Amino acid sequence: MKIFEEIPIKEPSGELLGAVNFPSDLRELDLKDLPKFSDELREYLLYSVGQTGGHFGAGLGVVELTAALHYVFDTPKDKIVWDVGHQAYPHKLITGRKEAMDTIRQTNGLAPFPSRSESEYDTYGVGHSSTSISAALGMAAAARLKGEDKEVVAVIGDGAMTAGMAYEALSHAGSIDENILVVLNDNQMSISENVGGLKNYLAKVWASPLYNQIRKGGKTVLRFIPAASRIARRAEIQAKGLLTPGTLFEELGLSYIGPVNGHDPVAMVKILNELKTMGGPRLLHIITQKGKGFLPAELDPIGYHAINKIKPLKRQEEGEKLPTFSQIFGEWLCYKAEKESLLTAITPAMREGSGLIEFSTKYPDRYYDVAIAEQHSVSLAAGMACEGLKPVVAIYSTFLQRAYDQLIHDVALQNLNVLFAIDRAGLVGADGPTHQGAFDISYLRCIPNMIVMTPSDENNTWKMLNTGFNYQGP
């Protein structure tokens, strides 16, 4: 794999990538050429995002996975559902949109996330997290009922897997035995040579037809001997539990394969081809690195989650930047926490975006990052308020929509003292329709006991935060 240290200024001219406009072109390449193709795809991705700005680290981490998926599956007949969509830039590049990438996140340009109206390869519109497995399961059910022979793949990150909706979908998938493949893109772990090699070997064994024929044959025989079946199942779980973290998924009814190296496209193609022959609900666990292949992003994956476009060489004088709501809120929160020992701060995986870095460092025992769990964040705050704490929920407007029932049922109807600091309200621009905060006043003003305040400047923000904190209700 080629490691880049700088973002290319000049448009790359990769030989293999230049011959690929659609996945059908990609499938004409020799398998041995996929690593070189992946290098060229990564280089063009660096150049493209450098020109326009946009989501960066997630796409770099799934270059090889994107190539392998489109190489193995007959897209667009077979369906790939991307969760959230931060990682979909490589997918856009090889599905007929390379020449339009310089318009992404701009008026009348390409959408920043997959969009059904943009391409037949974008099977499901996304922007929020943890919806992919549910959507893919629905597509798999539709294919079966319509008698269509097609594969459906959901690609979901380990962050999105923290949301309850993802587990609801996994549980349902395991119970109805639809033909669906879930790819768990885990970029929170590093793989050492020895452990990675062993687990990749086991993954190949567990994906092989021989292993699955033995396993299915054994189940058929043991079905007539209930006691023996239970003993064999317990033995299998205990044996695999020593070697793999997949026991949870197996218990939910999915065949678990992994973990495997998500930056080896040749190995992934072989495993994906084996998985195609298995059928039923399957989960492939791959290990990747966010920002892979671009050294600065590997060293700082949070900082390189998204980037601004490269500035022109001619120096331009910039005026003084006004403070953002997030910055003002973060300063107020730390100031208030010093005086109020019962103040707590809750966020659903938005520490940086909501201005909570300083608070999380100064008051770690009063800081709660609940991951991508908006519903839980609101009910957690309600429980704290019941016992006299003063919870502050820092959340984006578009994500608060996901906890609407909890707002009404858990907080408002009980008139609990919870302060919501709602960020990214109004029109947010380049992130598009899935992230607009245009509905909050409409959906909040009709809730009983709810007071809604909208500040216009820094001074106003401080006053309204103080008023909201002292108000005895939501």
Which of 307, 333, 354 corresponds to the end of one domain? Answer: 307
Asked whether the bond before 455 is cis by omega within 30 degrees of 0, the reply is no
In a domain, 6, yes or no: no
Same domain, 110 and 216: yes
Same domain, 107 and 78: yes
Q: Name the percent of the chain lying above pLDDT 70.
A: 82
In a domain, 314, yes or no: no
Q: What is the pLDDT of residue 198?
A: 36
In a domain, 354, yes or no: yes
Residue 352 confidence class, pLDDT cut points 50, 70, 90: confident
Same domain, 379 and 295: no
Between 305-319, 349-363, 441-455, the lowest mean confidence (pLDDT) is in 305-319
Same domain, 366 and 277: no
Catalytically annotated residue among 290, 336, 366, 424: 290
**Distance from CA of residue 373 to its chain's centroid?**
13
Same domain, 67 and 107: yes
The number of folded domains in the chain is 2
Same domain, 301 and 348: no
In a domain, 275, yes or no: yes
In a domain, 434, yes or no: yes
Mean of all residue pLDDT scores within the chain: 83
Mean pLDDT of 406-417: 91
Catalytically annotated residue among 366, 390, 402, 424: 402
Same domain, 175 and 271: yes
In a domain, 232, yes or no: yes
Which of 307, 342, 362 corresponds to the end of one domain? Answer: 307
Answer whether residue 461 shows pLDDT above 70. yes
Same domain, 459 and 358: yes
Mean pLDDT of 21-33: 97
Between 41-50, 183-192, 269-278, the lowest mean confidence (pLDDT) is in 183-192
In a domain, 7, yes or no: no
Mean pLDDT of 182-198: 56
Answer whether residue 222 shows pLDDT above 50. no
User: Quick check: is 402 catalytic?
Assistant: yes
Same domain, 228 and 118: yes
pLDDT in tens, 294-338: 887 777 766 666 556 655 434 444 566 788 888 999 999 999 999
Which of 307, 338, 370 corresponds to the end of one domain? Answer: 307
Same domain, 227 and 329: no
Same domain, 289 and 393: no
Element (H, E) at 406: helix 404-406
User: Quick check: is 230 catalytic?
Assistant: no
User: Quick check: is 290 catalytic?
Assistant: yes
Residue 53: give the domain boundaries.
Answer: 15-307
> Which amino acid would we find at residue 182?
V
In a domain, 316, yes or no: no
Q: CATH number for the domain including 351?
A: 3.40.50.970
Q: What is the pLDDT of residue 296?
A: 78
Same domain, 288 and 337: no
Catalytically annotated residue among 43, 151, 250, 374: 374
pLDDT in tens, 227-269: 555 555 555 544 544 445 577 888 888 999 988 999 999 999 9
Q: What is the pLDDT of residue 359?
A: 92
